[in-house]
Amino acid sequence: MKSVSLLALAALMTLSVTSCGSNSNGSTTAAPATTSAAAAPTVSKFDAGPRAAESPVDEAQAEAGEKLFSSKGCTACHTFGKKMSGPDLAGVTMRRTALWMENQILHPEKMVKEDPISRDLFAKHALQMPNQGLTPEEARAVIEYLKHQQHEATETH
């Protein structure tokens, strides 16, 4: 009887291990993230492709974006080159795609639930970015401002 129970347990463990990496349509998925320092880098479906800073800056849009960045209160949490309550934005356009930044600006509440990069930022800063109600055009203007800031920082160094 004891050997039958062990055999059943071994079969269940094998079944659990083999089905762990696949989803309902049979394709494989990544194993759950671990908390170890050797964990794989975080990947986002919105952050594939060229970095935002790789495209030229639209200076007119950057000027509008700077005004929005200030008027919407982004400066309360974000700066360039020093830590505040939110992530430091120095170099963000070299780290992220415009698509990722646009989604983070327009849908921060959705991104923190669905995007691994946004979840990591929330975990590090313990602060949820508020939805400022920007339009897609306004979000792109803010991104142009961030690109302008990157360009200025690169020019001075």
When comparing pLDDT for 17 and 35, which is higher?
Answer: 35
Instruction: Go through the domains of the chain in sequence order and give each one's CATH number.
Output: 58-157 (1.10.760.10)
- CA within 13 Å, CB half, 134: 28
What's the pTM value of the predicted model, to 2 decimals?
Answer: 0.73
Residue pair 150/94 in contact by the 8 Å Cβ criterion: yes
User: What is the structure's pLDDT at 71?
Assistant: 97
Work out the average pLDDT over 107-119: 97
Q: Report the b/e string of 96-122 with b at 16+ CB within 10 A.
A: bbbbbbbbbbbbbeebbeebebbbebb
Work out the average pLDDT over 1-14: 38
The pair of structure tokens assigned to 24 is: 């309902």
User: What is the structure's pLDDT at 156?
Assistant: 75
User: What is the structure's pLDDT at 83?
Assistant: 84
Work out the average pLDDT over 121-148: 96
When comparing pLDDT for 3 and 130, which is higher?
Answer: 130
